[in-house]
Amino acid sequence: MTTERDRAKVVIIGSGPAGYTAAVYTARAALQPMMIRGLQPGGQLTITTDVENWPGETSIMGPELMEKMEAQARSLGTDIVDDIVTDVDLSSRPYRLTLESGREVLAETLVIATGAQARWLGLESETKYRGFGVSACATCDGFFYRGKAVAVVGGGNTAVEEALFLTNFASKVYLIHRRDELRADKTNQARLFANEKVEPVWNATVSEVLGQDDPLGVTGVKLAATDGGEDRELEIDGLFIAIGHDPATQLFRGKLDMDESGYLLCKPDSTATSAPGVYAAGDVKDHVYRQAVTAAGMGCMAALEAERFLAANEEAEPQRQAAE
């Protein structure tokens, strides 16, 4: 039997900047939100080192920023649950969530803030230096490589745009691609090839990330030739992986509208998904900006929309009962 504690006006799935901001706003609106934190409490910022583009903070470590957001959400009364949602029934409201622990939760509204994960190369050395010279976000970390040599792995528009952005800081930018031509559109390619700081490295894959232990940091990469040529090493100070992201939306396949890449689709100028009272915020719907501050902004939008949805339905219920 579902207890009163297992029912909430607002349930937030995910605990990154979008989720915690939604929690703060809905808690301040006296909606007593429940947050189910998921596999990676705090989201991608917990594997980020210095954050220098968060408003009001000159420099803060990613994990510390998420600890502050969590503390604020808790202080306002958010019920934070350390569990994982394994199934969601969106066929009727209240929506039914099944958790890994076996617990069931009924949600009058739902904010999906499950985020997205960067695709990585899958190398042990890559994991070792992640956050210490290996990154998946040039906008986040490019500033730290002023006057240094860096490399970007990838061949699509994201990789080209990351490489071009890095030329604002780095003295040299290598673009490593496993083929001899890029998938990026012709306009982006023209900009890339016209930039004197960029050097394409064709027909190569990264086989190992090289680095030092004290202090921990990247010093280079080993490259494996894909065309039968010789393997070689490249001296760099930072490595940026730009081979795509995967939104964490598997739970909602066949239940909510999404694009071909799995990002949730929302109404224009809104976080509202294809199900009434269900909202999406952050990287789970955003494949363009993917920044903590934009995710937080969408968390605010989702919270406000959930509050208005609940208010409208509370007003409509007495009218419906009177009509019956």
The question of whether 141 is a catalytic residue gets the answer yes
Is 22 within 8 Å of 302 (Cβ atoms)? yes
Q: Indicate which residue of 83, 141, 214, 227 is catalytic.
A: 141
Kind plus residue range of the DSSP H or E element containing 264: none
User: Is residue 185 annotated as part of the catalytic site, yes or no?
Assistant: no
> CB burial class (10 A; 0-12, 13-18, 19+) of residue 227?
exposed
Q: Take residue 144 and report the two structure tokens written for it.
A: 């730290």
Catalytic residue among 50, 83, 137, 300: 137
Q: For residue 2, how many other CB atoms are within 10 A of its CB?
A: 12
* Cα–Cα dist 241/239, whole Å: 7
Q: Is 300 a catalytic residue?
A: no
The catalytic residue among 140, 237, 266, 283 is: 140
| CA separation for the pair 196, 173 (Å, rounded) | 9
**Burial label, 30 (beta-carbon count in 10 A; 0-12, 13-18, 19+):** exposed
Is-contact 97 114, C-beta < 8 A?
A: no
Which residues belong to the active site?
137, 140-141
